[in-house]
Amino acid sequence: MKKNKLPSIAIIGYGSMGREVEKIAQSKHIIITDIFDIDKPLDIKKDYAFDVAIDFTYPDAVLDNVKKLTKMKKKIVIGTTGWEKDFNKIKGIIKRNNAALVYGSNFSIGMQIFMQIVDFASKQINNLEEYDIFMHEIHHKRKIDSPSGTALTLGKIILDNVKLKKEILTDRASSQIGKNQLHISSTRGGEVTGTHSVYLDSLADTIELTHRAKNRSGFALGAVEAAKWLHNKHGFFDFRDILREILAG
């Protein structure tokens, strides 16, 4: 298959992730035409040269950014998490405008592999009442959403596979939790990029599955690869669903 030419990219949100996206994109010889931030917001009246915008901003900014970008006929990669309340609105905007968007709770390819491991492991204990399953995640002190979008995605995978678990408990458990509750606890502090641990525990033993992000490069690489894949496409896509095609080149 003939590969598409590389898209030009705009970065929305020039924090730690935005800078990492810039570094990864430059290493792949991708042109960055614009960088938008609080001091330089998107202007709907301007004609920008970029093909795809990569958004690593804040949950409350995502909906407005999507509205502006679709009016500009630009394609969008959303790396921001915590915007689930606007999910249906954003999906509708993309569909109505025949636009293109890739979203993901986590753009790290390593995390996507970890999700597959959790998917397999949780299926194994579905019929084993001796095992309980729960989760803990840790992020840096500046992270806004809690639990993380990645943790909630992992939780949904577990709920799909373990019939006993019917709902996710994200609040502090001040008393005994129900057998049908999947407890996801969170810690915020320091400079932890992201650690997610899933525990399968019984009286006999404990299985601990952990993914630790060493830095932000994995997230940025996935977002840039998604931008490359999205070029010349239309639709509303989950990064998990297109990853295999991205890896196949």
- Asked if the model's pLDDT at residue 190 lies above 90, the reply is yes
- Asked if the model's pLDDT at residue 29 lies above 90, the reply is yes
- Asked if the model's pLDDT at residue 3 lies above 60, the reply is no
Neighbours of 42 (CB within 10 A): 20
Tens digit of pLDDT for each residue in 129-148? Answer: 999 999 999 999 999 889 99
The CATH number linked to 153 is: 3.30.360.10
Are both 30 and 121 inside the same structural domain?
no
Active site residues: 139, 143
pLDDT for res 1: 33
- Asked if the model's pLDDT at residue 33 lies above 70, the reply is yes
Question: What is the arithmetic mean of pLDDT over 181-192?
Answer: 97
Whether 197 is in a domain gets the answer yes
Whole-angstrom CA distances from 14 to 17, 34, 35, 41, 140 are: 7, 11, 7, 11, 18
Q: How many domains does the chain have?
A: 2
pLDDT for res 114: 96
pLDDT for res 232: 87
Tens digit of pLDDT for each residue in 144-174? Answer: 889 998 999 999 999 999 999 999 999 888 8
Question: What is the arithmetic mean of pLDDT over 60-87?
Answer: 95
SS3 of residue 238 by DSSP: strand
Q: What is the pTM of this model?
A: 0.79
Residue 187 belongs to domain spanning: 109-212
Whether 1 is in a domain gets the answer no
